[in-house]
Amino acid sequence: MRFRLADSSIMANSGLWVGVLTALTALGASYITARATSRAALAQARTTTTAEALREQRDRRRSTYREMMSCAHAFFEVTWQIDEVDATSDRQAKDRLLTQMYERIGPAIGSMNRANHEVRLDGPAEVSDASEHVRQMARRVQPLLKALIGDDGPERRRAYDAAFVDFRDAHLTFISLARQALEVRDEAE
- CA–CA distance, 38 with 32 (Å, rounded to integer): 10
- CA–CA distance, 158 with 155 (Å, rounded to integer): 5
Asked if residue 178 belongs to a domain, the reply is yes
Range list of H helices, the chain: 2-79, 82-87, 91-122, 125-148, 154-182
Give the CATH number, domain containing residue 174: 1.20.120
Put simply, whether the predicted model's pTM sits higher than 0.75 gets the answer: no
- CA–CA distance, 71 with 66 (Å, rounded to integer): 9
pLDDT in tens, 75-105: 999 999 999 999 998 999 999 999 999 999 9
pLDDT in tens, 3-58: 555 555 655 566 666 676 677 777 777 778 777 777 777 777 777 777 887 788 88
Residues 94-117 have a mean pLDDT of: 95
Please report the pLDDT score of residue 10 as a whole number.
56
Q: Which structural domain range is residue 12 located in?
A: 3-182
Q: Is residue 187 over pLDDT 80?
A: no
Planar angle of CA 186, 189, 178, nearest 5 degrees:
55
Asked if residue 23 belongs to a domain, the reply is yes
Hey, CA dihedral for 77, 78, 83, 88, is it positive or negative?
A: positive
The H or E element that residue 89 is part of is: none
Please report the pLDDT score of residue 188 as a whole number.
40
pLDDT in tens, 130-150: 999 999 999 999 999 999 999
- CA–CA distance, 174 with 137 (Å, rounded to integer): 12
Asked if residue 39 belongs to a domain, the reply is yes
Asked if residue 61 belongs to a domain, the reply is yes
Please report the pLDDT score of residue 27 as a whole number.
73
Number of domains in the chain: 1
Q: 10 phi and psi, to 5 degrees?
A: -65, -40
Higher pLDDT, 34 or 61: 61
At 28, the amino acid letter reads G
Asked if residue 188 belongs to a domain, the reply is no
Secondary structure (3-state) at 33: helix
